Amino acid sequence: MSTIELNQPSATAPQIPVLKHAAIDGMEAYRALVAEAERDHEAFWARLAREHLDWRRPFTKVLNDANAPFYQWFEDGELNASYNCLDRNLINGHADKTAIVFEADDGKVTRITYQALYHRVCRLANALRARGVKKDDRVVIYMPMSVEGVAAMLACARIGAPHSVVFGGFSAKSLHERMVDVGAVAVITADEQARGGKTLPLKTIVDEALTMGGAEAVKTVVIYRRTGGRIPWIAGRDAWLHELEQAQPDTCEPEWVGAEHPLFVLYTSGSTGAPKGVQHSTGGYLLWAAVTMKWTFDIKPADVFWCTADIGWITGHTYICYGPTAVGATQVIFEGVPTYPNAGRFWDMIQRHKVSIFYTAPTAIRSLIKTADANAAVHPRSFDLSSLRILGTVGEPINPSAWTWYAEQVGGGRCPVLDTFWQTETGGHMISPLPGATPLVPGSCTLPMPGIDAAIVDETGRDVPNGQGGVLVVRKPWPSMIRTIWGNPERFRHGYYPEELGGKLYLAGDGAIRDPDTGYFTITGRIDDVLNVSGHRMGTMEIESALAANPLVAEAAVVGRPDETIGEAIVAFIVLKTERPTGAEAKRVADELRAWVGKEIGPIAKPKDIRFGDAMPKTRSGKVVRRLLRSVAKGDAISQDTSTVENPAVISQFADAV
């Protein structure tokens, strides 16, 4: 990284100036931080930890790598995440500052100050303690986007109970798997959630999950009354959130925990089927959440920050719950969808709430381009977006044409567009433009954050030259990194620090390439069997397992194909136990299988295309030839060698998508 030179933007890119007086002000300031980290990696991170967090007991040891790759950071220090996100703001004179501007699906707006959020969190923390939840107990949160969802996360952190948030779109089966794996003792949920003018059940899904067995440790289900819809009730176990809070004091002494204490476990899809419980620490994770809010987003006291993610994903953890509150920001939280009541909802909200920093997914941008081009009334130009000063994207690489539209039509050609690369496992941004320093290139996430030693290597772990594609790795540990896979340390070791790369390089699981002239990074896609659907990672094996469990299905294979709106579309190749269906029967069966997957995993996992055949194309050893299926899914002519395929004639049967 010491060889980084000042990059120049492409001649065809919008000429967007860097911000003046930003947290990292210019490329020289960026290079100085990179050099500081290179000179003394531990001293660099120790300085940041002392400057950006409040410690109950200061740490004396920075990095413990004796049991690598199970690294420990600031291990003898003590702190509390909820204290750093709430109490510290009260002490610093921000008690009356608006913490959250919440806009409900129906447009109702609620504002809550840091003082009020502190009291709400304390009451819920006390209520959980009163119900027997104690330090180290795990709590599952299955909530809609809401102030209450954020309060639930911070309340768990306050009492030292690691939380595991499950996306509200996941099925009872997916919820059950996560409750059982993490060993939850309590669940916090809502009666229903409201999205796009519709109400969707949550509490009934929790009840269904709890009847599946294995989650008997759950003794408490706390329900936020969101819609007032009728729900089943289990006396003694179920309790209304508002009734529990009414009985509790509005202050709560935080549980001081070691820096390595698990803050949360968040499940993400893996290539082997079973979801992986990514475990994050308290100190290292919170540090990077705060630092990246300042470096990447250049957060200022007067900013209004809006991240459109859901708290069920890592983006919602870092850039809704913990990052904004750790730096005392005012943020917008949105319950609904960008197309309800019309496709101008995002731009209308930016206009009304004077949003200055907007962070969303390329999938949302691409879908809104289509509607804006077709209807001037919902085009960004029809709204006053002059409050914006920084734009960001997250979840997947943004294609240059969408980047340019976003920069020009939403940002007015004056707002830096930050294409941020990071993962559930990394805790925060790893490679990203910095608005006050980095010249921008559409389609590139540009340069690593200071302190992040990213590289591109071949399959043996050797560096590849710029301009040659390879595997993205990180050579040195960093504080916000994944600590382990919950309950499965060997899966962590083999999955993220594989022996074939020497056992010392963090494997991101993505391919990448660096520009020969500038050194900028561009992410080229996953190298494993994990799909990126609308910015959400879905394991192909998990979807295949769900399909194979259907009584109609003999075999199933799942691949991805490029999709201009959602990034990657799920394509399922199916062999039934009966004859291959055609025409209307094929459509009926396909719809049945989509509904099945929706129930088993969640609507996000439903295949966009389903293709039927009499048999899978396999090698003589019985392995499904997925490279051929990927070509079929993309509509490419089969020009590859099929000599190793035992039954190449079946490939043509999968030509038609249903």
Q: List 99's β-bridge partners, or say none.
A: none
Please answer whether residues 185 and 141 qualify as being in contact, where contact means their C-beta atoms are separated by less than 8 angstroms.
no
Task: Give the β-pairing of 198-201 and 257-258.
Answer: unpaired
Whole-angstrom distance, CA of residue 378 vs CA of residue 16: 24
Tokens describing residue 414: 């004056």
> For helices 583-600 and 540-548, what crossing angle results, to 10°?
110
Query: What are φ and ψ of residue 462, in 5° steps?
Result: -90, 140
Binding residues: 195-198, 315, 395-397, 419-424, 510, 526, 534, 537, 553
- Phi, psi (deg, nearest 5) at residue 571: -120, 125
How far apart are alpha carbons 488 and 491 in whole angstroms? 5
Length of the chain: 658
Amino acid at site 351: Q
* Cβ-based burial of 414 (10 A; exposed 0-12, middle 13-18, buried ≥19): middle
DSSP string, 534-596: TTEEEEHHHHHHHHHTSTTEEEEEEEEEEETTTEEEEEEEEEESSPPP-HHHHHHHHHHHHHH
And the tokens for 231? 């729900």
Binding site per annotation, positions for CoA: 195-198, 315, 534
Closest CA to 121 of 241, 237, 225: 241
Q: Which residues are annotated as a binding site for Mg(2+)?
A: 553
Dihedral of CA 6/12/13/17: which sign?
A: positive
Q: Are 309 and 358 in contact (CB under 8 A)?
A: no
Task: Please choose, from the candidates 464, 345, 360, 449, the residue with its C-alpha nearest in 3D space to the C-alpha of residue 411.
Answer: 360
Beta-strand pair 357-360/304-307: parallel
Cis check for the bond before 69: say yes or no (omega within 30 of 0): yes
Query: What does the alpha-carbon distance between residue 113 and residue 47 come to, in Å, rounded to a whole number?
Result: 30
The helix/strand/coil state of 304 is: strand
Around Cβ 495, how many Cβ atoms within 10 Å? 19
Beta strand residue intervals within 373-478, DSSP E: 390-393, 417-419, 454-457, 470-474
Helix-helix angle 41-52:27-39, to 10 degrees: 120
Contact 307/535 with Cβ under 8 angstroms? no
Single-letter code of the amino acid located at 294: K
Half-sphere exposure of 176 (CA within 13 A, CB side): 18
Beta bridge partners of 391: 358, 417
Torsions phi, psi for 448 (to 5 deg): -65, 150
Contact present, 492 and 484 (Cβ < 8 Å): yes
Q: Which amino acid is at 592?
A: E
Pairwise CA distance, residues 539 & 40, whole Å: 38
Question: 3-state class of 172 per DSSP?
Answer: helix
Cα–Cα distance, 180 to 98 (Å, whole number): 38
